[in-house]
Structure 1
Amino acid sequence: MKNIQLLLVLMLFVALHSAAQETACITEQNIHYYPEDVNQSDAYINERCVLDIYYPTDEETFGTIVWFHGGGLTQGQKEIPEALKNKGVCVVGVSYRLHPKVKSPKYVEDAAAAVAWTIKNIEDYGGDSTLVFVSGHSAGGYLTSMIGLDKRWLAEFGVDANQIAG
């Protein structure tokens, strides 16, 4: 009986300690990452080229992960993956234009615009612009590679690809 009680107390302690470790976060949704004149010039850009930002409120100068969804460049929506939440970092979930409504390289341009927006604006949310990491799943991994390995994409938005932390 004492072993069961000890096990229950230990489990309760672990559960309470884990809950205490969670970071308080805020999510802001549907932020346009292109300038307003670009958003107003194209209804599809205005609809698709938005991001959600999930950031900690009790951390200072945190790192940021820009996350691109998968979907073969033909489908998918921005997301904040559950596995990245409550880690003391910001996560930026990006939506981008999709094929066949647009052709390449429009979605690569969108990815670069979103990362440039993040680098230029993350300090307004408490983040560190030198700690911006870019990642994604499937097609999102492709977009990550394109903007990280070919400097011309980010240069179009006034950002050097070497500013990406990883």
Structure 2
Amino acid sequence: MKNLITTFCILFISLSLFSQEVIYKEKKNITYTLRTDNYSQERCKVDIYYPTNKKDFTTLIWFHGGGLTGGNKEVPDFLKKKGIAVLGVEYRLSPQVKVADIIQDAADAVKWTFGHITEYGGSTQKIVIGGYSAGAYLSLMLGLNKNYLANRDISTDALLGIISFSGQAITHFTARKEKGLTEFQPIIDELAPLFWVRKDAPRILLITGDRELEMVGRYEENAYLKRMLGLVGHVDVKHLELDGYDHGMTYPAYPLLLKELENWTKK
């Protein structure tokens, strides 16, 4: 009898653990733009990877890298099966469109997420924008210049936070190229996250590679962004430098991203 009871207990525990397993689904190539031209219809797509048996989950809107001239939407493998939803965003590229247009695409993707994430079980109170390199730049522009989302009836206050993997804080080099400048001619204008530093911006996590190994000035730009945010009174910005890693620093950064998301949802 004792052995039978033990067997039933083990079976019950096993079934309970199995029932608690989070199940994920991925839906691809969802159009988020209202523009009807062929190029917008081709590029302005999202893939959403989300838990199907968990409610009010955190959603990370993830913008891909590629210098704003290349790249495709992605849901990073390391971020799968981690209890969150990831929305991989594709956007139009230079030189077919201007950098200012690409930022508008990114804002449209955020608007789509706020309008639809509850249909998948997510919470509009737990939306984070982030990305790698050019995608990080887009995230910083949307989070610091509040006008992009305000024009879509969304307050940046509604964002849980911003996560930037090696993003540009000065004017993006592709935007400088549009002005006839090289990547070695830094400027800070309205297309620079640094131009929009403000006390009331969302919480921010900046991660870069080693200052000696990163792309031109990338560590220093982020360090300066953190410094300037602090000087204007922003109290929740963190900058992490990954010693020994160059611009391709995504793997060591992903676990740090997940840890920060966990901390943010506890606050």
Return the TM-score normalized by structure 1: 0.83
Q: Which shifted more, 21-30 or 60-69?
A: 21-30
Shift of 1:22: 6.0
Counterpart among 58, 73, 80 of residue 85 in structure 1: 80
Decide which structure has the larger Cα Rg and report it: 2
Shift of 1:47: 0.4
Q: Residues of 1 paired with 2:79 and 2:57: CA distance?
A: 13
1:79/1:94 contact within 8 Å kept: yes
1:69/1:137 contact within 8 Å kept: yes
1:134 aligns with 2:133: no
2:68/2:99 contact within 8 Å kept: no
1:156 aligns with 2:151: yes
Match of 1:143 in 2: 138
Equivalent pairs: percent with the same residue?
A: 47
2:64/2:135 contact within 8 Å kept: yes
1:101 aligns with 2:100: no
In structure 2, what residue type is equivalent to 1:48?
R
Counterpart among 72, 75, 88 of residue 70 in structure 2: 75
Q: Residues of 2 paired with 1:98 and 1:22: CA distance?
A: 39
Q: Residues of 2 paired with 1:23 and 1:75: CA distance?
A: 34
Return the TM-score normalized by structure 2: 0.52
Match of 1:13 in 2: none
Q: Residues of 1 paired with 2:91 and 2:22: CA distance?
A: 28
1:33 aligns with 2:28: no
Moved over 2 A (4+): 20-23
Q: Residues of 2 paired with 1:83 and 1:74: CA distance?
A: 25
**Unmatched tracts of structure 2, length 5 or more:** 1-17, 162-267
Q: Residues of 2 paired with 1:33 and 1:156: CA distance?
A: 16
1:57 aligns with 2:52: yes
Structure 1 residues 49, 139: closer, same or farther in 2, change over 3 A?
A: same
1:23/1:87 contact within 8 Å kept: no
Q: Residues of 2 paired with 1:99 and 1:85: CA distance?
A: 30
Counterpart among 31, 36, 39 of residue 44 in structure 1: 39
Shift of 1:23: 2.9
Counterpart among 121, 124, 133 of residue 119 in structure 2: 124
Q: Deviations over 1:107-145 (max 9, x none)?
A: 100011101110121000000011000110000000000
SS for the counterpart of 1:105 is helix
Q: Residues of 1 paired with 2:22 and 2:133: CA distance?
A: 28
Aligned length: 145
1:22/1:86 contact within 8 Å kept: no
In structure 2, what residue type is equivalent to 1:117?
W
Q: Deviations over 1:141-164 (max 9, x none)?
A: 000000000011111222111111
> What is the alpha-carbon root mean square deviation over aligned residues?
1.7
SS for the counterpart of 2:115 is helix
SS for the counterpart of 2:53 is coil
